[in-house]
Structure 1
Amino acid sequence: MSNATTIGTPFLWGVTLAVLALLLIIDFLLTRRPHAVSMREAVGWSVFYLALPVGFGFYVWQAHGGGVAAEFFTGYVVEKSLSVDNLFVFMLLLAAFAVPAELAQRVLLYGIVGALVLRAVFIALGAAVLQSGTWAFLLFGAILVATAIKILKEALSHREQAVDISSMRSIRLVRRFMPVTDDYHGSRLVVRQGGRRALTPLALAMVAVFATDIVFAVDSVPAVYGVTEDPFLVFATNAFALLGLRALYFVLQGVLAKLRHLNHGLAVILAFIGVKLVLHWAHGIWAWVPEIPTLASLGVIIGVLLTVTVTSLRASRAEEARAAREPVERS
């Protein structure tokens, strides 16, 4: 990891935030007229949003050297892998709320905006904590290892993942203060019903997505601080990873359920970064304690993601083959 110096000059921050705002405005205009997203449209935008961080990474390489670029690309891969897990939860939420296909992208867009705002807050808090002393690395490492254990336990339990809307505290709290309509009313969040204002199910879906954003931010920000201490790079990796989620959701919608080992891989990645942070903290006290280089981290993370993708697809094919044989065996 780099020292506490940052490449984020006021000019670079300004350009980054302006481009981010422009892209979000374009996304908002695209979702203003609700429509079902075609695969062609989703793939086109996904390619565009994947090209952006690649181009930015090469700019960082040219302007600040390979070491900083390696930190950016490693942080981006970590955040992108975690964001795919976000997508799976979003998919469960959209199914639980029975969100119409033409409104799904609007819910995803608001979820992404909420995630960006929360990540910015947590990044600022993380930077302040790191400035207070090296003990913060030990804290972040412990958070990631604990999160990894929790994710692994859930993955090994083989329980069918689903969302129970009635058990969500945020939803129960909203229902206490506002009535909710039974049906969707297009893209409207609030309507008049029986002479009083009432929320639509679309508003509840957005509240649920925003509540899950908070949980993901707690895991995501310490993870990328395990790769770089530069707040600008931390923000940039989060922004690039989140921007393309709306389009990527529609590309991966049919594949997400087949990535059954994704959580196993994320648990390994988070535990690895947690150990990396603890070693970094220990190295500051005892110089003989080794540190894990950024390029080695990138290799481990990519290797884990490739492994769980291959094993997930093999497991899915094996299950489909068994399902195809069962009717024949019964007959």
Structure 2
Amino acid sequence: MLESIGSPLLWAATIAVLLVLLALDFAVTRRPHDVPMREAVGWTVFYLALPAVFGVFVWWAYGGTPAVEFFTGYVVEKSLSVDNLFVFMLLLASFAVPTALAQRVLLYGIVGALVLRGIFIAAGAAVIASGAWAFLLFGAVLLVTAVKVIRDALRGADHQVDIGRMRSVRLLRRLMPVTQEYHGSRLTVRIDGRRTLTPMALVVAAVFMTDVVFAVDSVPAVYGVTEDPYLVFATNAFALLGLRALYFVLRNVLARLRHLNYGLGVILAFIGVKLVLHWAHGVWDWVPEVPTPLSLGVILVTLATVTLTSVAANRRERAQEAVQPGPVAGELNNVERPMTLGGSRVRIPPEKKAR
């Protein structure tokens, strides 16, 4: 395992900056409001510039190898974080979250994801320190995940969120009563002298549970790029910080990236094979290893390919719809509205309300 660039001073400075940025985000979302495109684009550009500046700093202070590892890991984590946005979109729709409260829900999800990623990163570092077999384990996890992602995309399975079956939601409903309506961004309110949960608390709990699932996939993926725990943490932090603003920039675009799941499946499978080869190289010297620059190239080409194929598929669909009669105007309010998220078909009833 290579020596980590993360000195105690660098760790402290990174965490301090992270806390300042999170406090800034909480200040921005303190007043619930629908985020205009100009504001969302401004924050998105800011959070895309941060990792670029950090990567240049790493290159200047520590050399090209850790810098390339950082940029590669960041691209992987940013790609997987877009998949987070798909699920967040479904949760927000299923809980009928008011548009003005969406960014506060997303911010809670980001904080939960950062905490969970930190725990998983520390655990992953401990596992890797115990022996090279950890790379074989991580590789197997990613390959299994890749097969599932691609299989679901090929089947075009409905990607639905069953709120009533989520354990976190059921547990909260058993412990405390839940109001029928939102009370701003408050998680609890006092009604008739009794503390009561709001639907906001339920959606936050649901988001936290999805964070656990994504942490299981994303941490092994970035460990396939670099073994440095500091760089693993940095890539996760930078990829997650800008999700709140990115959601509002891409909320109308996300539904059009119909082939993204294929790309994510290919990326996860590629990194899984890379980890297995890394383990095998430690056992048999003649087994080749995949260099990090090649990994970055494969990931970028894959993402560009699925973006182009998604655009082409959307154009073909629009051309077909142009020559086919649509529903009668009076029937528009009585049909379910289909959305295509990451290659999966999602159906959201027209009057979905939180319970």
TM-score using structure 1 length: 0.97
> What displacement does 1:173 show?
1.5
- Matched with 1:79 is 77
> What displacement does 1:159 show?
2.3
1:34 counterpart SS class? coil
> What displacement does 1:208 show?
0.4
- Matched with 2:135 is 137
- Matched with 2:108 is 110
2:181 counterpart SS class? coil
- Matched with 1:231 is 229
> What displacement does 1:193 show?
2.6
2:269 partner amino acid: A
RMSD, aligned α-carbons: 1.1
2:289 to 288, 291, 297: 291
- Matched with 2:348 is none
Identity of aligned residues (%): 71
2:5 aligned with 1:7 = yes
- Per-residue CA deviation, residues 144-186 of structure 1 (Å, 9 max, x unaligned), is 0001111111111112322111121211111111111111111
- Per-residue CA deviation, residues 269-300 of structure 1 (Å, 9 max, x unaligned), is 00100000000000001000000000000000
CA distance in 2: counterparts of 1:209 and 1:71, whole angstroms: 29
2:85 aligned with 1:97 = no
- Matched with 1:54 is 52
2:175 to 174, 177, 185: 177
Alignment map for 1:231-310 (pairs within 5 Å): 231-310=229-308
> What displacement does 1:197 show?
1.5
CA distance in 1: counterparts of 2:158 and 2:279, whole angstroms: 38
2:35 aligned with 1:37 = yes
CA distance in 2: counterparts of 1:253 and 1:40, whole angstroms: 14
CA distance in 1: counterparts of 2:281 and 2:232, whole angstroms: 22
- Per-residue CA deviation, residues 115-143 of structure 1 (Å, 9 max, x unaligned), is 00000000000000000000000000000
- Matched with 1:322 is 320
CA distance in 2: counterparts of 1:186 and 1:65, whole angstroms: 48
- Matched with 2:337 is none
CA distance in 1: counterparts of 2:186 and 2:59, whole angstroms: 45
Unaligned runs of 5+ in 2: 329-355
2:71 partner amino acid: F
1:216 partner amino acid: F
- Matched with 1:203 is 201
> What displacement does 1:305 show?
0.4
CA distance in 1: counterparts of 2:35 and 2:97, whole angstroms: 14
> What displacement does 1:76 show?
0.2
Runs of 4+ in 1 over 3 A off after TM superposition: none
1:119 to 106, 117, 127: 117
- Matched with 1:147 is 145
Unaligned runs of 5+ in 1: none
- Per-residue CA deviation, residues 215-252 of structure 1 (Å, 9 max, x unaligned), is 00000000000000000000000000000000000000
TM-score using structure 2 length: 0.91
CA distance in 1: counterparts of 2:251 and 2:272, whole angstroms: 30
- Per-residue CA deviation, residues 179-214 of structure 1 (Å, 9 max, x unaligned), is 111111111110123432111111101000000000
2:311 aligned with 1:313 = yes
Which is further off, 167-176 or 100-109? 167-176
2:325 partner amino acid: P
- Matched with 1:88 is 86
